[in-house]
């Protein structure tokens, strides 16, 4: 079950968003035995409000983008989804949804709130994000009561960029290699998990492309990049399939480039032997 929902949220090989889904939410099923609405027509003094704008980097708004909050519960023999809030962006790209979050916790072995934003109506050919994204928060905080949490999304157009990896005779460590592109697409004002783990820490998208490293020479690939914002591109090593390397071990220096629609340069990276002691590429 947890593999299915991670795939639905972020585990695409070409588009690997590094977004916040707490480990306990990995057990939420993709289907449910009970589904019901618990929506409110207007916010109260104790409501939690999520609001913000969804735009391109140059300020073009996205209208009609669905946003929602659900409370999901998985027990030993059944699952349930309670729809807490639903809405869409208006002509200016603005959305505002609100919900009461004071009576669901503790209903199941694995439970929590999920904030969803559905970009699946966007063209995969035109936009680098064109899927439903979900953000989990399992523990309700007292300070959320009556508060507004601002979440602004920047959804860029997509452009493929050539990347060349050079190796001047350095022995290549066996394993899988990827050219990784990372960029930020979400800015949050207010904490949705807790003060130590705000969603801002995980509001980046990672895009990976397979590459074979030459023992002495160069290899090139094309990787999707986000137009109008900074893209951070580097070579990473994923190691053996039996070992987890979520973002890869750095195998080159990172290069940060702002991509425009007229960008036609080739980005060059130089291979270096991955250091297993530097396992996590944050």
DSSP 17-39: EE----GGGGG--SS-SEEEE--
Same domain? For 172 and 197 the reply is yes
Same domain? For 141 and 35 the reply is yes
**CA angle (37 as vertex; 142, 88 as ends), nearest 5:** 85
The tokens describing 17, both together, are 């968003």
The residues near 59 (Cβ < 8 Å, ≥ 6 apart) are none
pTM for the structure as a whole: 0.79
User: Burial of 37 by CB count in 10 Å (0-12 exposed, 13-18 middle, 19+ buried)?
Assistant: exposed
From 154, 185, 209, give the residue that closes a domain: 154
Q: Tell which residue, 152, 173, 265, 162, has the closest CA to residue 215.
A: 173
The total of structural domains in the chain comes to 2
Same domain? For 105 and 239 the reply is no
- Buried-state track 78-104, b at ≥16 Cβ within 10 A, e below 16: ebbbbebbebebeeebbbebbbbbeeb
Question: What does the pLDDT read at residue 244?
Answer: 65
Bridge partner list, 183: 205
The tokens describing 55, both together, are 């735009």
Rounded to an integer, what distance in angstroms lies between the CA atom of residue 111 and that of residue 126? 36
The tokens describing 228, both together, are 């109008």
* Positions of the chain with pLDDT under 70: 1-32, 75-77, 102-110, 138-141, 190-202, 240-244, 278-282
Same domain? For 87 and 211 the reply is no
Classify the phi-psi angles of 181: left when phi > 0, otherwise alpha if psi is within -120 to 50, otherwise beta: beta
Same domain? For 193 and 103 the reply is no
Same domain? For 150 and 163 the reply is no
Could you tell me the CA-to-CA distances from 248 to 5, 175, 179 in Å, in that order? Answer: 22, 11, 10
Q: Which run of H or E residues covers position 4? A: helix 2-9
CATH number at residue 132: 2.60.40.3330
Question: What does the pLDDT read at residue 145?
Answer: 79
Question: What does the pLDDT read at residue 103?
Answer: 56
Question: What does the pLDDT read at residue 276?
Answer: 76
Question: What does the pLDDT read at residue 12?
Answer: 39
């Amino acid at each position: 079950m947890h593999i299915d929902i991670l795939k639905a949220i972020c585990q695409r090989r070409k588009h690997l968003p590094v977004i916040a889904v707490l480990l306990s939410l990995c057990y939420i099923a993709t289907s449910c035995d009970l589904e019901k609405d618990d929506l409110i027509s207007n916010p109260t003094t104790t409501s939690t409000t999520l609001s913000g704008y969804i735009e391109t980097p140059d300020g073009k708004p996205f209208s009609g983008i669905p946003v929602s909050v659900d409370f999901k519960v998985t027990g030993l023999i059944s699952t349930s989804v309670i729809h807490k809030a639903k809405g869409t962006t208006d002509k200016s790209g603005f959305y505002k949804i609100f919900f009461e979050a004071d009576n669901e916790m503790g209903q199941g072995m694995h439970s929590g709130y999920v904030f969803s934003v559905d970009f699946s109506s966007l063209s995969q050919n035109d936009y680098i994000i064109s899927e439903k994204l979900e953000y989990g928060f399992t523990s309700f905080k007292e300070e959320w009561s009556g508060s507004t949490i601002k979440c602004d999304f920047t959804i860029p157009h997509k452009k493929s960029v050539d990347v060349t990896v050079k190796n001047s005779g350095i022995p290549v460590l066996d394993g899988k290699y990827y050219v990784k592109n990372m960029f930020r697409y979400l800015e949050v004002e207010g904490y949705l998990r807790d003060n130590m783990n705000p969603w801002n820490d995980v509001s980046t998208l990672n895009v990976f492309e397979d590459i074979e490293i030459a023992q002495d020479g160069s290899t090139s690939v094309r990787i999707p990049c986000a137009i109008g914002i900074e893209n951070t591109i580097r070579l990473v090593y994923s190691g053996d399939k039996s070992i987890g390397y979520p973002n890869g071990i750095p195998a080159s220096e990172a290069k940060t480039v702002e991509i425009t629609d007229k960008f036609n340069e080739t980005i060059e990276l130089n291979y270096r032997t991955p250091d297993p002691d530097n396992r996590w590429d944050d």
